[in-house]
Amino acid sequence: MKTAAQLIADKKHKEVISIAPNRPVIDALIILAEYKIGALIVMDQDKMVGIFSERDYAREVVLKGKSSKVTTIQEVMTKNVLVGQGKDTFEKAMTLMTENHIRHLPITDGQKVIGMLSLGDVAKEMIVYQKNLIKELEAYVKQ
């Protein structure tokens, strides 16, 4: 079973895609669109201070009538972020996400952020894992 760190290593964008808390929301939206992702890690001098997601944008900017050009990330980001560890299995990451009703999980190796997994990332891996398990069981039964 793959670890969270292995899933991040398999991703198209292996680097940590982040934004500073003092940047305007419009900058985050541009990055989200450019990378075709749903959330960014908010970093302040190499320290994760939150995440900003499409959900944050919808709830904290659009629905409250705020301006994306004036509102800063720190005003609308999610703080007190739940994180996973690189050594965690993808199954543990998926459990953390589903139990806590979150779609994006930053992954750390000690204190260092190494990337972020989406619910889609872990769901895809679960499908691959189950297909391989079925093949193994079919081969065993045929013996």
Identify the H or E element spanning 43: strand 39-44
Residue 20: closest CA among 58, 68, 74 = 74
pLDDT of 80: 93
CATH of the domain at 25: 3.10.580.10
pLDDT of 92: 94
**Tens-digit pLDDT string for the chain (143 aa):** 899 999 999 887 778 999 999 999 999 999 999 999 999 999 999 899 999 999 999 999 999 999 999 999 999 999 999 999 999 998 999 999 999 999 999 999 988 999 999 999 998 988 888 888 888 888 888 87
Q: How many CA atoms lie within 13 A of 66 on its CB side?
A: 19
Say how many domains are in the chain.
1
Residue 75: closest CA among 108, 98, 42 = 42
Range of the domain at 127: 4-142
pLDDT of 51: 98
pLDDT of 136: 84
140 in helix, strand or coil? helix
Q: For the whole model, what pTM was predicted?
A: 0.87
pLDDT of 102: 95
Whether residue 69 contacts residue 75, with contact meaning beta carbons closer than 8 Å, is answered with no
pLDDT of 11: 85
